[in-house]
């Protein structure tokens, strides 16, 4: 058998086990595509973006709202916000973090999570982005004890403030 197949299978096995930290639940593939709108950038509320990387400050709180089809959830509404960073004395550098999101499934179950290590790259008038996603306990229904994560990547079109993103990874959940 080809060594590349073993390498890919090994990486998938490791990534599933890294994100599946609940011993009594099974890691399942997670995939979703969300489209919506970039909301009006806001100033940074006191205490919201205090963990900026060394040498950077948060210059804006960016928010997004959208809808799409997500595995384990069906038709889903999503709200997300993150801290956009700037290099001290230089200006915005396209990085972001301290992201938080809430996804509401078509039956009302809520999945919560965070996203970090965000990087955006301009393709005027479109900006691409990618970041790391982590699901967390604290949702409702079947997602009360969620864990897992993955990556998302997408595009924001600044000509009409629309966005589309794709989230891919693994999720574990149970009602305990």
pTM metric for this prediction: 0.83
- Contact (CB, 8 A) for 59 and 84: yes
Model confidence at 41, in pLDDT bands (50, 70, 90)?
confident
pLDDT at position 14, please? 42
pLDDT at position 131, please? 98
pLDDT at position 20, please? 43
Is the pLDDT at 146 greater than 70? The verdict is yes
What's the number of domains the chain is made of? 1
Model confidence at 176, in pLDDT bands (50, 70, 90)?
low
Is the pLDDT at 117 greater than 60? The verdict is yes
Distance CA 139, CA 111 (A): 5
pLDDT tens-digit map of 14-25: 444 444 444 456
pLDDT tens-digit map of 53-89: 999 999 999 999 999 999 999 999 999 999 999 999 9
Token pair 């409702």 is at which residue? 140
pLDDT tens-digit map of 104-116: 999 999 999 999 9
The mean per-residue pLDDT over the stretch 32-56 comes to 93
pLDDT at position 154, please? 97
Write b or e for each residue in 149-161: b if 16 or more Cβ atoms lie within 10 A of its Cβ, otherwise e.
Answer: bbebebebeeeee
pLDDT at position 56, please? 96
Residue 61's Cβ-side half-sphere holds a number of Cα atoms within 13 Å equal to: 13
What is the average pLDDT value for the chain, to the nearest integer? 87
- Residue 55 burial (CB count, 10 A): 12
Write out the residue range of the structural domain in which residue 12 sits.
3-172
């Amino acid at each position: 058998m080809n060594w590349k197949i073993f390498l890919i299978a090994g990486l998938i096995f490791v990534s599933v086990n890294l994100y599946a930290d609940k011993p009594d639940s099974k890691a399942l593939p997670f995939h979703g595509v969300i489209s919506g709108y970039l909301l009006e950038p806001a100033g940074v509320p006191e205490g919201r973006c205090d963990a900026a990387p060394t040498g950077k400050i948060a210059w804006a709180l960016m928010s997004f709202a959208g809808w799409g089809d997500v595995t384990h959830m069906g038709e889903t509404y999503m709200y997300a916000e993150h801290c956009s960073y700037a290099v001290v004395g230089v200006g915005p550098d396209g990085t972001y973090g301290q992201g938080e999101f809430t996804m509401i499934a078509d039956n009302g179950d809520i999945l919560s999570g965070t996203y970090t290590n965000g990087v955006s790259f301009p393709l005027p008038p479109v900006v691409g982005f990618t970041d790391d996603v982590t699901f967390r306990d604290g949702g409702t229904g079947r997602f009360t004890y969620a864990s897992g994560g993955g990556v998302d990547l997408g595009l924001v079109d600044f000509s009409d403030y629309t966005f589309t993103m794709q989230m891919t990874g693994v999720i574990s959940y149970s009602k305990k």
